[in-house]
Amino acid sequence: MNKWAEWGSLKSFVKNDEITLEIERSMNQLDACCQNLQIATQLQLFSLNTQMDAARESDQLELKKMMLTMLENQEELREDMGLLLVNMDKFTEVMKTFQLELRAHPVGSSTHNNISRGLLGMQQASGQLPPIAFLEGHECNIISQAPIAGSTVYDVYEGLWLGEEKVAVKILRSSKASEGNVRRFHRQVDIWHRMKSRYILRFYGVASIAGGSSFYLVSPWCENGDAPKYLKKNPNVDRLKLILEIAFGLRYLHSQSPPIVHGSLQGSNVLIGDGGGALLADFGLAKALEDLTAVPFTQSTGSNGCYRWMAPELHEDGGQMTLKSDVYSWAMTALELYSDKVPYSRIKMPGSVVMEVAKGKIPERPRPGASRMSSGGILPGAGSREGIEIPDSLWELFVRCWAKEPADRPTIQETIQELEDMRRYTPMVM
């Protein structure tokens, strides 16, 4: 006990299980001694156990007070962070304790602010998110008065995470979802929250609003914006590296158990991190919206949705999103980023795009600085003067990814292997 008395509040919390086990071991030994000496009645033993339970409860309250006191000294928390990082299970437990305690204090109070700073410091030091994905308005505040971006299914607002970090808040349009659909949506949220890869945009959490008729989703803010906008501002970016990183993100999703289908990959769903790397966003959102609204994603996104990037089987009634439909969309996204134009850019009406895809026609090959007619299954028209040249080996890969039959398309791993070979042996065109 003298040793325990010398420990600080954080170490006491980390070692709490060890302390509890030692006390229980000592109590069991004491019980055995009492029974052997026949000096304790059952009533005395019951009284002693009751006192121990009360003492444990008192200890937990005292420990919580010590933790809150520690949060007032952010310097002490930073110094002791290494102790927590040794035991990630305990680290997660501490974060959960703080997250629950955060909800017990008014937003803007000194205690709320201290806990927020402590949680954010732990997140930044470890890369671990607060473990509760279902938020209650204490972790994130929306700070913009009007949407700063959006789509047909959500509006994007600027927010603050734990009082300091700038985040993107996507407010979904009202859904009037059934209880069963909401449960399926919650399962999807748990999956999003667990995903952690350098090629995936992290998902911080979700909260219900408007009496539960809608939700908002929280993710990091990316100052560089999405890939198409980034390339317009930075045309000399290594585009082969960028589309390879997108493929890495898909491989991460496809390697999960069970595999995760992105479902709506296109340039606007690829964000660019601070270091210039690609981050896949909105993975699984298409399926989640179907679960939430019971409306097929192609209908919920409207006529100007993602038809240009969708595999032909998804244009049919009952078409299912699969790993191979993701590969098709990856190639369309890669074409978009090389050409600086959406796929089938010369066709204005989405319905006409669907008809061309049904005929087995693929997009024309862009040829910057040239005017060249294509033939065969390629749509007629002059080549683009924007974007950069697509090497023959890369174009051939795109064409195989656009095969009408899903079984004829490469896997994402096979795609990555070819891209890596190109980076090793093909001079980059800037």
Query: Are 357 and 368 spatial neighbours (Cβ–Cβ below 8 Å)?
Result: no
**Residue 214 — pLDDT band, cuts 50, 70, 90?**
confident
Tokens of 299: 């209908």
In angstroms, the CA 235 to CA 23 distance is 66
Report the pLDDT value the prediction gives residue 318, as an integer from 0 to 100: 80
Residue 196, pLDDT above cutoff 70: yes
Instruction: Give me the amino acid identity at 127.
Output: G
Q: What is the DSSP string of 335-400?
A: HHHHHTS-TTTT---HHHHHHHHHTT-BPPPP-TT------TTBPPSPPPSSS-PPPHHHHHHHHH
Q: Which DSSP state fits 105?
A: S
Cα 19 from Cα 403, distance rounded (Å) = 63
* % of residues, the chain, pLDDT over 90: 50
CB 147 within 8 A of CB 155: yes
In tens, the pLDDT along 373-413 reads 333 344 433 334 467 899 999 999 999 999 999 999 999 99
CATH class of the structural domain 140-220 = alpha beta
Contact 118, 90 (CB under 8 A): no
Q: How far is CA 86 from CA 9, 15, 98, 122, in A?
A: 16, 12, 18, 13
pLDDT at 429 (0 to 100): 40
Domain 227-425: homologous superfamily in CATH: Transferase(Phosphotransferase) domain 1 (1.10.510.10)
Which pLDDT score, from 0 to 100, does residue 371 have?
41
273-292 tens-digit pLDDT: 999 999 999 988 877 777 67
Task: Please give the pLDDT value at position 288.
Answer: 78
Give the Cα separation of 425 and 410 in Å (integer).
21
Q: What is the pLDDT of residues 166-177, one digit of tens each?
A: 999 999 876 666
Pick the more confident residue, 59 or 228: 228
Q: List pLDDT tens digits, range 326-343.
A: 999 999 999 999 999 999
Domain residue extents for the chain: 2-126, 140-220, 227-425
pLDDT(64) > 70:
no
**pLDDT confidence of residue 379:** 40
Burial of 411 (0-12, 13-18, 19+ CB in 10 A): middle
**Torsion, CA 342, CA 224, CA 282, CA 174, rounded to 10:** -100
Least confident of 172-176, 192-196, 308-312, 408-412: 172-176
Residue 319 clears pLDDT 90, i.e. is over it:
no
Task: For residues 139 and 130, give the distance between their C-alpha atoms in angstroms, rounded to a whole number.
Answer: 9
Which position has the higher pLDDT, 380 or 19? 19
Rounded mean pLDDT, 174-189: 78
The pLDDT tens digits of the residues spanning 140-169 come to 999 999 999 877 778 999 999 999 999 999
Question: Which pLDDT score is estimated for 376?
Answer: 38
Residue 297 pLDDT level (bands cut at 50, 70, 90): low
Q: What pLDDT is recorded for position 187?
A: 86
Mean pLDDT, residues 99-124 taken together: 91
**Residues 121-148: what's their mean pLDDT?**
92
| pLDDT, average across residues 127-146 | 93
pLDDT at 401: 98
User: What rounded mean pLDDT belongs to the chain?
Assistant: 81
